[in-house]
Amino acid sequence: MPRPLRLGVLTGGGDCPGLNALIRGLVKRGVHEFGHEFVGIENGYMGLVEPDLTRPLTEEDTRGILPKGGTILGTSNKANPFQYAVLENGTWVEKDLSEVALHRAEELKLDGLIAVGGDGTLTIGHKLTEKGLRVVGCPKTIDNDLSGTDQTFGFDTARAICTEAIDRLHSTAESHDRVMVVEIMGRHAGFLTLDSGIAGGADVILIPEIPYRVESIVEKIHRRGSRKRSFSIIAVAEGAYPVGGTLAVLDQAGDIPGRGVVRLGGAGKVCADLLARHIPAEIRVTVLGHLQRGGSPSAADRLLATMYGCKVLDLVRDGQWDSMVALREGRIVTAPLSESRKERRVDPDGEPVRFAKSMGISFGD
Ligand code: F6P
């Protein structure tokens, strides 16, 4: 029987539905089967650098959190101990405070750390293991863009929200004979847009992996018109862009220390403005934004997150530090933490895109 451990837990990066389900599964199995003790590190890696951002994480603390969105531990998508934003003489500068994080982990008497997050959080976890901290990871993101795993939790819920939004846009588009453009998250990966576009019956799906030509979309709208379909739904990934164009960026926050990554946004408006030059129909743009990340997780995400929370304790038990849990062909397996760094993209020649095209959905190419 392995000795009970004291384990830190943090959630980093953008939140997503299922984080609380994972925390609950982890703590329940950890306490019942191994007698582990858990320390909640608040606001992602910020809690390992700043003082007073930790809390005990008992079974009692996880009661009732299974259906709740967000994360009870809080999160941050800008706190990176290796490039930590510090205010010096009125100016923000980035400093390597990884030694502070290691020292804090020692002070907290942690036997290991469980980091739940996307590629940023898991990559930091990998770098901390190189410096001696024992870290295991659980992948999460609504974008589903991590190569180490077939699917991340949070994706299924977000996909359902986007699909419902496209469903709802249909009736109002049809009533007004409008072209409805709906902008969907996913950063540089088109998985959310592709899946919800197909599931919601979008007429045009624009993803970052296939730069679009506006003429091709216009043709599709005209073809629909000739079949007496006087409305169209266009699902646009926030990372989509026209051939010869550039990414639509909301602000360059990523260039300012401590402000996180560059924020994407506006791809829907770019597409609508381009289209407006070619078609007489009224065009409206809906940006789903953070609605896609909020609310209660789907049954599939609760299940996957709970399985991840339980499975990650096998990695701890077996001393498989510097690893993460992953879903491969329906089974929860182990993958190196470093694999999270490889970004996954929609295959433009893969079956979902080919079948969608074969049904007449346009990708604007
Ligand atoms: O990575 C998840 C995600 O929701 C992306 O799809 C999106 O581009 C980004 O986070 C939004 O980040 P923020 O919450 O910082 O606006």
Percent of the chain with pLDDT over 90: 89
CB contact at 8 A, 193 and 205: yes
- Quote the ligand 1 centre to 320 CA distance (angstroms): 30
The predicted-structure confidence for 309-330, as pLDDT tens digits, reads as follows: 999 999 999 999 999 999 999 9
Query: In the annotation, is 15 catalytic?
Result: no
Ligand 1 centroid–CA 14 distance in Å is 6
**Does ligand 1 have an atom closer than 6 angstroms to the CB of 189?**
no
CA distance 56 to 83: 27
Q: How far does the centroid of ligand 1 lie from the alpha carbon of residue 189, in Å?
A: 12
* pLDDT, tens only, 290-312: 999 999 999 999 999 999 999 99
Residue 238 Cα: closest atom of ligand 1:
8
**What's the whole-model pTM score?**
0.95
CA atoms 5, 76, 189, 67: torsion sign: positive
Tell me the residue ranges of DSSP E strands in 22-149: 37-41, 54-56, 84-88, 91-95, 112-117, 135-139
Q: How confident is the model over 121-156, as pLDDT tens digits? A: 999 999 999 999 999 999 999 999 998 899 999 999
143, 195, 301, 322: the active-site residue: 143
Closest residue to atom 13 of ligand 1, CA basis: 14
Is the minimum distance from the CB of 264 to ligand 1 under 6 angstroms?
yes
Please list the residues that pair with 283 across neighbouring strands. Answer: 179
Distance 346 CA to ligand 1 centre (A): 18
186 lines ligand 1 (CB under 6 A): yes
Please state, in angstroms and rounded to a whole number, the distance separating the CA atoms of residues 113 and 135. 5
* C-alpha to C-alpha distance for 117 and 16, rounded to whole angstroms: 9
